[in-house]
Amino acid sequence: MSTWLNVKTVAKRMAVSERFVYSLIAANEFPAVRLGRAVRGPADAFEQWLADKEEAAKDKNNEFGSKARSI
């Protein structure tokens, strides 16, 4: 059985506001479903999404760093 996270939990784990999490959901940046008034996202999808974002940030930093050194 999959674990589901609410917006408050995701916001705490990312150290961002709940409003920001809602904006990610609205922009289809983060997978979530609405169950009545409740909004939930699968924990495994959140972990994968976060890992992908961290990897993209590392790649971007490495790209910037290599360009800065070659000047």
* Alpha-carbon distance values, 13 to 22, 31, 47, 55 (Å): 14, 16, 10, 17
What is d(CA 59, CA 26) in angstroms, rounded to the nearest whole number?
Answer: 26
Parse the chain into domains and list their residue ranges: 4-70
Q: pLDDT 10s per residue in the chain (71 long)?
A: 679 999 999 999 999 999 999 999 999 988 899 989 999 999 999 999 999 988 888 887 776 555 554 44
